[in-house]
Structures are given as structure tokens and as C-alpha cells.
Structure 1
Amino acid sequence: MPQLQLFFLHALGASAGEWERVIARLGDRADCIALDIPGFGGTSAGECTDVTALVDWFCATVAARAPSRWCVVGHSMGGKIATLAAARAREGAPGLAGLCGVVLVAASPPSPEPMEEQRRQQMLGWFADGAPTPAQAAQFVDDNSARRLDEAPREQAIADVRRSDPRAWRAWLEQGSKEDASGQAGRIALPALLLAGAEDGDLDADAQRRLNLPHYPEAGEVVAIADAAHLIPYEQPDALAAHIDALLRWAEASALPPAFIDLLNLPRVQPRMRATLLARHRGPPRDAPRVLSDTQRAVLAAVVASVLALDDAAQAADLARRLDVGLATQAGDGWRFADLPADAQAWPLGLDALDAMTGGWCARDPLAQEAWLTRIARGDAQPGPQSALDGAQLARWFEDVRAEIARTWASLPATMAAMGYDGFATGSAPGEGEGYVLAGADQREPWQRLPDPRE
């Protein structure tokens, strides 16, 4: 399996070098790629002086590598770029489908960055006539550190500030940091980790909770790094590397197979289709509406496991949750038996009947559950007098449940990957279908990259 690629985006006035100590501690955990943002690290700003251009640059850099699995770590200014690039990946931008995790380190938000105007003007003044003086660069570094850095990293940080392109520095302070792209960012349902220095000022943990956390519903709580202000990669590389490693484990566990991502990244997959499949893989948000009680959902998970012969309890629970959200949002096919109520009413009734007639469905072993479901499917099981459904209704209910379980399971990208299904890769734009050239049995075209499950 190809190694996960981990991209690093640095802070204002820094360079790719700020990540050296973090990357050294990660070792061979990932293919680490630290980038110099245009205008920093001795590079020219060129035309990349606004946020859109910076995001364009980063997305093009990633897409050129076509990674099947990648994550991004964004520090301060780099965090805003990372978030907006993740939003583009969510929308199906080509070459970005493999994004599986985001780490924000004292990150600038997609909304305007909180900053005292007096400090902004002071920082602009340092670059008014070219590069800042050594004393000014040192003040910037020291002001952003909880305590004075060791000499080697401090000198490196000071040198990076001094070699920043004045155009890039001013553009960020005057425009980029003030730009409100929060609508563009939206909600990014990816494994994410938000970190802040415990002694940071404008971008501390509270600012991260208010300004960045709403965009990452899977992130949980913001983590404050002790004995650090804003220059966390220099101040606490060990702690930062440990947190990144934890995020990578989470991201890898939820990633799609590399061959499927390679297929999604092909130009023949429409961006809308790419976005739809990626969103479907991530599943409903944590706060999605539901119909079923915890007990009913547990019964449904056991039914799912029996119907699909699943040994993975987590996978069965995930499918049960998806089905529950589908009931709440009326995402089903709209079809039902005439003698059954609407799905949102019928499913709780059926699950309650299963639980009652067996004396606790989840307490039965899988073989007993399968035997009960076989009887129900045949119409041989009669619910008790307290049930709102009779035996015939329960059989028809279970028929509908089986169909919806199968439909939902087959629609998942992970299932498509396992089956070798690539029927969605039919054209790069609406009305421009590329279709298939070879249509004979057992014939595969060069672009068909998914393994044949029969082999």
C-alpha cells in the first residue's frame, strides 16, 4: 500500500524549515512534504498574493502528486490555506480525493483573523522599506514564543522572517488575514485535530473553538499545548509530532482503498460525483437527526449484521446509524407496503416487536437471531398481543428492511471498491460522457484500476 503523504504548511514569516524537528520525530510514519508558501522561505510571491491564489497553488501542488492518501498540517497562515483546500476536496476538486485528515496548529480561521490593529500596523511597518531589521525580526519571533527559543531554532526563525518577500507579508496582513471565506469553508467532515498554544494570544484555544472548530464537526475538543505560544513547531515539536501521529492513525483507519481513490481522481469522474461519493463515505454528521432510540438502533445493528453476515460490529453500527438518519430525513426510495405505516413509524414498531418477541434481541446469539429472522421472513413468527404489527405485516416489514439494508450497503464507496465497481466513472462533465469502449465479457479498459474480486 502506498505510504500516506503528509503536507506541511507553515506560518506567516516562516518556511518549510519550521517543520524539521517535527518531521524528524515522525520518522518514517508518513511521506512528509514540507512546502515553502510562495513569498516565504526565500521564494518569490509571484502572483500568489491573495488567499485564492495561495489555495490554487497548494491544490495544484497536491494534485500534481496525485496521492491516494494524504493529510495536511497547517500552522497559522497555513491553516487557512489548509481549510480552504480541504473544502475544495470536499467539493470534488480533481486530484484531491485522497484527503483523509487535517491538523490545524494555532491556525488562522477562514473568517477574518483576530488581531489588534496597532500590532498589525507595527508588523506592516517592519516591511515598509524592504526587509525588517534583525531586531524587528527577533521581536516578532520572541513575541510569538512562550519563552525564548533555543539559539539554533531562534536564529532560523529570525532568518526566515527577514527573507520573507515584503509583497507576501503585506498582502497577508492587509488582505489575506482579513478575508472572510467562512462560507466557502462550510463544514468539513474529515478526521481533524485542532491545536493551540496554551500561552498564545489572538489564536489561542478559545479563538480556535469560536472560529475554526465549527468548520470541523468531527474534531471534538481543541487541544491546548502546554508551554507554547504561537510557534508550536519550534516550541513543542515532541508533543506536536505525537498529536499528528494520533491523527494519522485515525485518518488511515477511515480511508478508502488507494485503488479506489486513484479511480476517483481520474478526469473521467465528474466533480459532483466525486464529491457525492466522498460525502457518502464520510457518513452523516454527528448531529444528524434520528428516529430510533438507542435500544432500537442496537437491535437494527444486530439485524444488519445478520442480513449482511458481518463480523465487524462497528461496521454494522455504522450502517444502522446511516439507516436511522435516512429514516429521519426520508432518504429512502419512498416505496412501502400498503398495510404498513410510513418508514419512520414502521421501523421502530418492527424493531420493538423483534425485541419483545425474543425477550431481548441483542441478548440472543447470532445463530438464534438468524433463526428468528428466517421465521419472520416466512411469516411464521407471531408477535405478542402488545405488538402493533401482526405476523404478516412483520414479514413484509422485514422484506422492506432487507432491501434498504442492501441498497444502503451497496451504495457505499467501500462496498464499490470491494466489488470492483467503477460504473460511476463515465464522463468528466454533464453531457460529455466518455462511456466504455470495451463491452465484452471479462474485458477491462486501461483506466479500470480496481482489482477484480474474482481474481
Structure 2
Amino acid sequence: MLHALGGSAKAWQGVVAALGSAFECLPIDLPGFGDARGASGWSVASMADHVAAAVVKRGGARWLLVGHSMGGKVASVVASRALAGEPGLFGLAGVVLLAGSPPSPEPMADDRREKMIGWATPGPLDGAAAREFVDANVGRALSPEADRLAIDDLKRASPEAWVAWLERGSREDWSGEVGILDVPALIIVGGADGDLGEDGQRATNAIVYPRADLSVEEGAGHLLPLERPTEVADKIARFWNDKAGVGPAVPLPFAALIASDRVSRRMRAALAVRSIADDVDYAPRVLSPLHLQTLRAVAKQVVPQGTPSIDLAARIDAQLAAGKADGWRFANMPPDREAYAAALDGLAEFAGLTEPEQQAWLTRMADGEFDQSTLSPEQMQRWFEDLRADLVRHWTAHPATMARIGFDGFANGGDGPRKQGFERLAANEREPWEPLMEMQQ
């Protein structure tokens, strides 16, 4: 949890209390603020380093980044590093932004920026400046306890860190490095907020996070963790339960291996992307909604996963949209997109069948006897062979599946010039560093 300009880890106290024991929360004092008031390193890069170090130290298997205002920009930079395979950062499951500053330069009127810089130019903010800042950033008066906390945090903020953010950090453009982050995301804004309110978020962070849900707290201003701690906590919990925390989890020992220096940055990035929860609101890009429904029913029979499961059908549709197949096709088959559409047209009634009936249809396809499609029985047989390969490939590519079947062959060297490799190569031998995962049926 990353606080706003002039805040501290204490700003999250109400949210942490409302979340209760269901979440382990790690509020962080960013350099120059709170108990880290004396720390230097006030650039966005340095603050991101500070947060990344805390994530590495904790070593969680699956975690969220929650960033408020200034902390939102830092959260986006750390998220991009995690998805790029930075060592130690495996396990990002989603991002929550509370009126988050975007990776691009933060919108702010010049006169307001200069006024705020002036508050800290002679030294720390005094009581009058802190009072003015709080009053200008809330929809209505804070509770006495929250108000006292906000004022105290502002008055103890490092004036150098305060000015560094306003003069440089908020103006830094990280949009090129961050890019588009295809992860579950939640953007919470106050209905009475200004530049970083709903319109500002739709023009900035909503573009960075195409899977983001945007939620407006009517009547609230900019200091959301202090104004609406219970509501913010409720939204975070629902976001986790409904979006970011769904799908199979990677066990902690296996996640720690992926995060380690035995794994290359490129491989870690690929596994990071594969481990992210599928979009529960996924809209097909190539297949029709009926095709996707049918494909999900077929996938359930071919690769029975139980719960939680990977949306293999959605991943195949995304593969078709990106034109990323396995590089070949049978000579008597049309291109993949056409083959999938024609085959699924012939299976249009599949989802409505009983399980024994579904298995009978699949057996007929496998035997080359399915004749209810514009594709020939032989072509349906070939398509079904390709489909099985696609489904199993996407299933085994997920790091949770790798852990489940005990495969860690990707941990063969890291990024150094001399690869670490494997020493024990005989059957049933394990390296000392290999996590011993319990095999599952």
C-alpha cells in the first residue's frame, strides 16, 4: 500500500482495519515521508526501487499493489517491472489505484503547483498550509482522528521530498516504460475530486489498464483512504474475490523459485503474464460469443481442471487474435481462425448436451466419424487433434500447473553468462534447491 503526497503508511490504518485478517497488508512509507522522512531518493525510479525492495523482502506468492495519488504512479512503475520479469517481483495479481497519479505527467494547474511548492520552500509545512491542503482535498470534513493524522503527516513530511515530487516526480513521463498493463485493475475516485477524478482517470490510467473497473465514491474528495476507509476496503476485497484472486494460485515455494536468480528475466516475465487471472468479463476477439461458450464446454471435457480453473478457451481466442499458433497446420485444413469457426459451428449444440453425450461426440471426432459440420469428418478429426494440443499447451504453460505436475525445468540458469544448470540428472533425483511439490491428481 503506497500513500499519497504528504501522507504516510499510517494513512492506511482505517483501510487495513476494515480489511481485517483476510488480507496481509504492508503499508509502506515512501522516501521523505512518515518514518522514512530522513530517507533520500525522491525520484519516481528511487521510490519504485524502495517498494520493489519491500516486495522482494516479503516474498509473497500472490499480491496486489495499492497506490493512492503519488503512490499510484509508483505502483504502475513497479507493476510494469513485475510484468517485465524483474527478479524478486513474481506474483503480481492486480493493481488498485485510488485517485492515482498516472505514468504520464500528472495534470495540475501551474498556480496551484507553485503555491504548494511555496508551502515547503522555507521548510516543513506549517499548520496553516497543512490545514489548507486537507480542506482543499476532501469532500467533507474528516473525522477528528483522521484529520489529526493527515495534519501530522503533512507537517512531518520532508520539504525536499515534497518539492521534488511537485517539481519533478509528478512531471516525469513513464508512459513509454510502463506501456499497457493487461492485469486486473480497480480505479477508485472521489466524485468531488479535481484533476485526478473520474475524467482525469479515464483519460490516463484507464488507458494504461484496459481491464480496469472504475468506481466513483460520490461526495468524497482526494483523500480516499482517510475519507472512506470502510468503502475502500470493501471495494478492494470484492476486487480480489471477483477479479484478481480468481484462478489457480502458484504455491509459495514455486513462486519463490520463479522469483530467484535461477530463472531468466524473459522466462519470469512470460510466467508472470501466464499466472495473471483470466478476465472474468472476457469478450472474444475472434470467435463469436456462442463459439466461446461451446469451446469452454469442450475444454472442460478435454482438460477437466476442477476449481479454480484456467479459462483455456479465452486464451485460445486471444491466441487466434494475435496470430500466435504453433507454426504449422495440416495441409487439408483451412487457416486456424477459419477452422475454429467452422468446427465450433458444427458443435453449436455441444454445451447443451449431457456429459455422456458430450463424451460421445468427442469420441466420434477423435475417430473421424463426426459428420455434423461443414468440415469433413477427417477435417474435424484433424481440428480436434490441434485443439487438444492447444488446450494442453495453454494448461501446462501456466506456472500453477507446472507446480502441480512438478516441472521446474525452466529454472536452468538465469541471466548470467554462466548458466547454473542441473547437476542431478538421474531418475527420481532432485537438486537441493528444487521445491518438493506434492503431486495432485
TM-score with structure 2 setting the length: 0.93
Does 1:200 find its partner at 2:193? yes
Q: Which letter maps to 2:390? A: E
1:72 to 65, 68, 72: 65
* One-letter amino acid matched to 1:267: D
Match of 2:366 in 1: 377
The 3 A distance-change label for structure 1 pair 230 and 258 is: same
Partner residue in 1 for 2:204: 211
Instruction: Give a deviation string over 1:107-159, Cα, whole Å, max 9, x none.
Output: 11111111111111111111111123211211111111122223332222112
1:368 aligns with 357
- How many Å separate the matches in 2 of 1:291 and 1:94? 35
Q: Distance in 1 between matches of 2:269 and 2:104?
A: 24
Contact kept in structure 2, 1:42 and 1:163, CA below 8 Å: no
Q: C-alpha separation between the residues in 1 aligned to 2:313 and 2:119?
A: 58
Confirm whether residue 186 of structure 1 aligns to residue 179 of structure 2.
Answer: yes
Whole-Å separation in 1 of the counterparts to 2:439 and 2:256: 17
User: Partner of 1:31: helix, strand, or coil?
Assistant: coil
Q: Deviations for 1:348-385, whole angstroms, at most 9, x for unmatched residues?
A: 22222334xxxx222221211211221222223334xx
| Contact 1:100 1:251 (8 Å CA) reproduced | yes
Deviation at residue 288 of structure 1 after TM alignment: 8.2
Q: Give runs of aligned pairs for residues 48-59 of structure 1, distance below 5 A.
A: 48-59=41-52
CA contact (8 A) 1:100 1:191 kept: yes
Amino acid in structure 2 at the alignment position of 1:256: V
- The equivalent residue for 2:388 is 402
Matched with 1:266 is 260
Select 1:353's aligned residue among 346, 362, 371: 346
Tell me which residue corresponds to 2:75: 82
1:266-308 Cα distance to aligned partner (Å, 9 max, x none):
1101111000111123378888873322222222222222222
Q: Which whole-Å CA distance do the structure 1 matches of 2:4 and 2:187 have between them?
A: 15
Alpha-carbon distance change, 361 to 170 in structure 1, aligned in 2, over 3 angstroms: same
**Partner SS, residue 34 of structure 2:** coil
Alpha-carbon spacing, 1:391–1:93, altered in 2? closer, same or farther (3 Å): same
Aligned match of 2:410: 424
Query: Are the counterparts in 2 of residues 354 and 361 from structure 1 also a CA contact under 8 Å?
Result: yes
5 Å-filtered alignment, 1:328-347, equals: 328-347=321-340
* Residue 97 of structure 1, CA deviation: 0.7
Distance 2:58 2:76 in 1: 19
8 Å Cα contact 1:421-1:450 kept in structure 2? no
- Name the SS for the 1:194 alignment partner: strand
Distance in 1 between the 2:207 and 2:26 partners?
28
Partner of 2:290: 295
Letter in 1 for 2:407: Y
CA contact under 8 A between 1:11 and 1:76: conserved in structure 2? Answer: yes
SS at match of 2:96: strand
**3-state secondary structure, aligned to 1:27:** helix
* Separation in 2, partners of 1:33, 1:310: 33
Q: Which structure 2 residue ranges, 5 or more long, are not aligned?
A: none
**Pairing 1:437-452 to 2, within 5 Å after superposition:** 437-452=423-438
SS in 2 for 1:28: helix
For residues 379 and 421 of structure 1, what CA distance do their matches in structure 2 show?
Answer: 34
The residue that corresponds to 1:436 in the other structure is: 422
5 Å matches for 1:317-328?
318-328=311-321
> Could you tell me which amino acid in structure 1 is paired with residue 429 of structure 2?
Q
Q: How high is the TM-score relative to the length of structure 1?
A: 0.90
Q: How far does residue 430 in structure 1 lie from its aligned partner after superposition? A: 6.2
Match of 2:85 in 1: 92
Larger Rg: 1
CA deviation after TM superposition for structure 1 residue 253, in Å: 2.2
Counterpart CA distance in 2 for 1:380 and 1:110 is 56
Q: In the aligned structure 2, how far is the partner of 1:17 from the partner of 1:310?
A: 42
Deviation of the 1:13 alpha carbon: 0.9
Contact 1:42 1:164 in 2 (8 A): no
The percent identity for this pair of structures is 44
Q: Deviations for 1:206-252, whole angstroms, at most 9, x for unmatched residues?
A: 111111111112212x2111231111111111111111222232333
What is the correspondence of 1:311-322 to structure 2 with a 5 Å cutoff?
315=309, 318-322=311-315
**1:420 partner amino acid:** G
* Mapped partners of 2:141, 2:353: distance in 1: 63
RMSD, matched Cα: 2.2
Unaligned runs of 5+ in 1: 1-7
**Who is 1:233 aligned against?**
225
Is the counterpart of residue 35 in structure 1 residue 24 in structure 2? no
